[in-house]
Amino acid sequence: MGTSRGTRLRRLGAIALAAGVAGAGMGGASAGAAQKAPPRTVDLQILSFNDYHGHLSPPGGNDGLLTSAAGTPPTTVAAGGVEYLTTHLKALRKGHPNTLTVAAGDLIGGSPFLSGLFKDEPSIETLDTLGLDVSGVGNHEFDEGVPELLRIQYGGCHPEEGCFDADGYTGAAFDYLAANVTYKKGAVITPPSSAFRYGDWWKGSSTGRTVLPPTAVKRVAGIKVGFIGMTLESTPTLVAQAGIRTVDFRDEVVTANAAAKDLRRQGVKAIVVLLHEGGLPPAGAPFNYACNAGSVADLSGPIVQIAEDLAPSIDLVVTGHTHQPYTCNIPDPAGRARWVTSAASFGRVITETELTLDRRTRDVVRPSVTTVNHAVTRDVVADPAQTATIAKWNALSAPIANRVVGSVTAPITRSITRDAESSLADLIADAQLAATAGAGDGAAVMAFMNPGGVRADLTFDPSPAGEAAGEVTFGEAFTVQPFGNLLVSMTLTGAQIDTLLEQQWSTSPSRAPFLHLGISDGVRFEWSRSAPVGQKIDPASITLDGTTIDPAGTYRVTVNSFLADGGDGFTVLREGTDRVGGGGDLDAFTAYLTANAPVTGPVPDRATPIP
């Protein structure tokens, strides 16, 4: 893919250059000519989005809808697709000579087949085309570890799969920032061969030896605007451990405040945080939801406390992670209004923030800031450059994507909110058990699947690729399970299985309160809606093939490698013994679809809620 890491002539640079040349020409005219004083302020537009996740094509099903008005049922609008995202960005930029486009992480990872098959190089190509300037990293940027993130930023063909297209891969043209991700003491650091002076930013930085620069500075009509990029501190609970063993993920507030001081020492007064952590508006909130000024009752989640503690020198907080849309005024510690924004996910929303920069103070005139969310509707002309990019990658992927691997009798769906049992997560657990039940394959008797690893539904309708109704292609199966995890079978006691099921609930502010596992057939249990966390399950209700689990007995259990490392807070799985590695999770899924075609989704009644 022929993107360029070199310096790009941005719109702002061209404007600044033109202004400088014009000024020089005026100065060379008659010395007595009257000169008009420059305006005291400069207007800046910031366009932002988050959680793109490689959605080049318009998302399908509920993933491609936005709530435009509350109701029963709510009013929705179809949204998303990078062809339309790009067109909307271009339209919003018109009339704004000073404009920057920024993002708050998870631009890659957990991606549909078209991008995920090619290690998200297509995602980066489309982001370069739409004119992204800078982004914070998210947890999914670390799905394949630090070395792969560095390759995504700096370029180079994949070390195992090679080059995916004729012109290779030269890296992202925008800047990824990682202010709170630092190398551990004693870590062996191998700079990317294509990275110019890798680590130069460590000198004098308060944030330490970060894997990517902590900050970036853009000049807007001669005024410096600083950006701080971060992921959430709990990233290690959300990604596989193998690729992040050399780094630490630090506190968001401590990091941002230190980075803001560094920027101010460089003369940067206008400061924006790009943070991959977020909040939750009320259920059913529309895409243009705006919190009441300063009211935390209108927004919950970790971002509220973080925003309240960020230094007053920070002027705007662009967030992500929760896939929710909102624009909220959460005052800074000095009591001044400060906007906190989020643009849903999958390229369905653009946040437009307009602010004024004071030429004298070089800072944001805080009362001037306005922000609004726009829907990326599909009633506009598709951007032709993005259409061509999609066509190129579709042609490269078609021989693999369109191979039929099985069929279903009806749609099989996941739990989008992840707090309910789903037919698709149970089906995947069944597939993983089938792949590891053999004596030489792990000897498993049960399997569990994390809901966050189920990224799309299995649909029934035929597709433009030509497969018949009900047929499932490899591309569709990949989109359901895109992470490339391996299966791990281990021995757990009955008491540890009870703990595993209890860990579906959490009081940690950095994790969802309830993550309902997918459960393989034969396992049943009851859980109490009213009991406190840690006491939700009666151990006597946990059965395997109708027999109560013995707390002192031992059982072979299969999970994916993400869960086996304690991902999503299921830390008891780290205690599993006699581990046996299996094949890939996607291989197990496709093999099950093939062997059992046509597949009917299991009824999601393996866990029974009680009062």
pLDDT tens digits, 413-437: 999 999 999 999 999 999 999 999 9
User: What is the C-alpha separation between 470 and 406, in angstroms, rounded?
Assistant: 8
State mean pLDDT over 477-506: 95
Task: For residues 291 and 282, give the distance between their C-alpha atoms in angstroms, rounded to a whole number.
Answer: 10
> Looking at residue 132, what is its pLDDT?
98
Q: Is the pLDDT of residue 466 over 90?
A: no
Neighbour-count burial of 179, counting CB atoms closer than 10 A to its CB (0-12 exposed, 13-18 middle, 19+ buried): buried
**What are the tokens at 319?**
């967030």
Mapped onto helix, strand or coil, the DSSP state of residue 554 is strand
pLDDT of residue 370: 96
Per-residue CA distances from 84 to 37, 259, 378, 417, 460 (Å):
41, 35, 6, 26, 26
Residues 357 and 223: their CA atoms lie apart, in Å, by 8
* Residue with token string 């070390």: 159
CB neighbour class for 16 (10 Å; exposed up to 12, middle 13-18, buried from 19): middle
What are the sequence ranges of the domains in the chain?
45-375, 404-610
Is the pLDDT at 8 greater than 70, yes or no? no
Determine the residue type at 329.
N
Q: Give the E-state strand segments of 111-214 in sequence order.
A: 134-136, 175-177, 181-183
The whole-angstrom separation of Cα 135 and Cα 246 is 22
CB-CB contact of 341 with 327 (8 Å): yes
The pLDDT confidence band at residue 16, using thresholds 50, 70 and 90, is very low
Compute how many other C-beta atoms are within 10 angstroms of the C-beta atom of residue 333.
Answer: 12
Alpha carbons 184 and 248: distance in angstroms, whole number: 6
Rg (the chain; Cα; Å): 25
pLDDT of residue 510: 73
Instruction: Give the three-class secondary structure for 374.
Output: strand
pLDDT at 37: 64
* Strand boundaries in 455-550, DSSP class E: 471-473, 486-493, 518-519, 523-528, 543-544, 547-548
pLDDT, one tens digit per residue, over 317-337 is 999 999 999 999 999 999 999
Q: In what order do the strands lie in the sheet with 223-231?
A: 215-220, 223-231, 270-276, 316-319, 339-343, 325-329
Residue the block writes with tokens 């902590």: 214
| Contact predicate 246/181, CB 8 Å | no
In this prediction, what percent of the chain has a pLDDT beyond 90? 82
Helix, strand or coil for residue 527?
strand
- Cβ neighbors of 210 (< 8 A, separation 6 or more) are 178, 179, 180, 181, 182, 183, 201, 202
Least confident among 102-106, 431-435, 459-463, 554-558: 459-463
More confident position, 18 or 523? 523
- Bridge partners of 197, per DSSP, are none
- In sequence order, what are the beta bridge partners of 581? 488
pLDDT digits (tens, 9 = 90+) for 388-421: 999 999 999 998 999 999 999 999 999 999 999 9
CATH topology of domain 404-610: 5'-nucleotidase;  domain 2 (3.90.780)
Element (H, E) at 308: helix 302-309
Enumerate residues 6+ apart whose C-beta is below 8 A from 17.
none
pLDDT attached to residue 14: 35
Res 95: pLDDT: 97
> Per-residue pLDDT averaged across 132-161, rounded?
95
Q: Which fold has domain 45-375?
A: Purple Acid Phosphatase; chain A, domain 2 (3.60.21)
Q: Distance between CA atoms of 503 and 483, rounded to whole angstroms?
A: 22
Strands 523-528 and 543-544: antiparallel
pLDDT at 511: 83
Which residue bears the tokens 């995504």? 152
| pLDDT for position 30 | 38
Predicted confidence band of residue 23 (pLDDT cuts 50, 70, 90): very low
**How sure is the predictor about 22, in pLDDT bands with cuts at 50, 70 and 90?**
very low
CA 207 from centre of chain: 23
* DSSP characters over 225-247: EEEEEEE-TTGGGTS-GGGGTTE
**pLDDT tier at 167, thresholds 50, 70, 90:** confident
Q: Tell me what pLDDT residue 403 has.
A: 92
Q: What does pLDDT average to over the chain?
A: 91
Confidence of residue 1 (pLDDT cuts 50, 70, 90): low
Kind and range of the H or E run holding 522: none
Among 63-67, 114-118, 291-295, 490-494, whose mean pLDDT is lowest?
A: 291-295
Residue at token pair 């506009």: 380
Chain-centroid distance, C-alpha 169: 22
3-state secondary structure (DSSP) of residue 66: strand
Give mean pLDDT, residues 70-75. 83
Residue with tokens 């018109």: 94
Element (H, E) at 339: strand 339-343
Query: For residue 484, what pLDDT is reported?
Result: 85
Q: Is the pLDDT of residue 79 over 80?
A: yes
Cβ atoms of 279 and 304 within 8 Å: the answer is yes
Neighbours of 476 (CB within 10 A): 26
Residue 54 backbone class (left: φ over 0; alpha: ψ -120 to 50; beta: rest): left
Strands 523-528 and 607-610: parallel
> Beta-carbon neighbour count of residue 516 at 10 Å?
21
First CA to last CA across the chain, in angstroms? 55
Element (H, E) at 78: strand 75-78
pLDDT at 35: 61
Q: C-alpha distances in angstroms, 364 versus 109, 168, 314? A: 34, 41, 9
Least reliable range by pLDDT among 13-22, 250-259, 306-315, 561-570: 13-22
- pLDDT-based confidence at residue 39 (cuts at 50, 70, 90): confident
Tokens of 59: 């998302």
Contact partners, residue 576, CB within 8 Å, separation at least 6: 488, 490, 491, 492, 496, 557, 564
476-to-112, 308, 465, 575, 602 alpha-carbon distances in Å: 8, 42, 11, 34, 19
Residue of 322 and 462 predicted with greater confidence: 322
3-state SS assignment for residue 183: strand
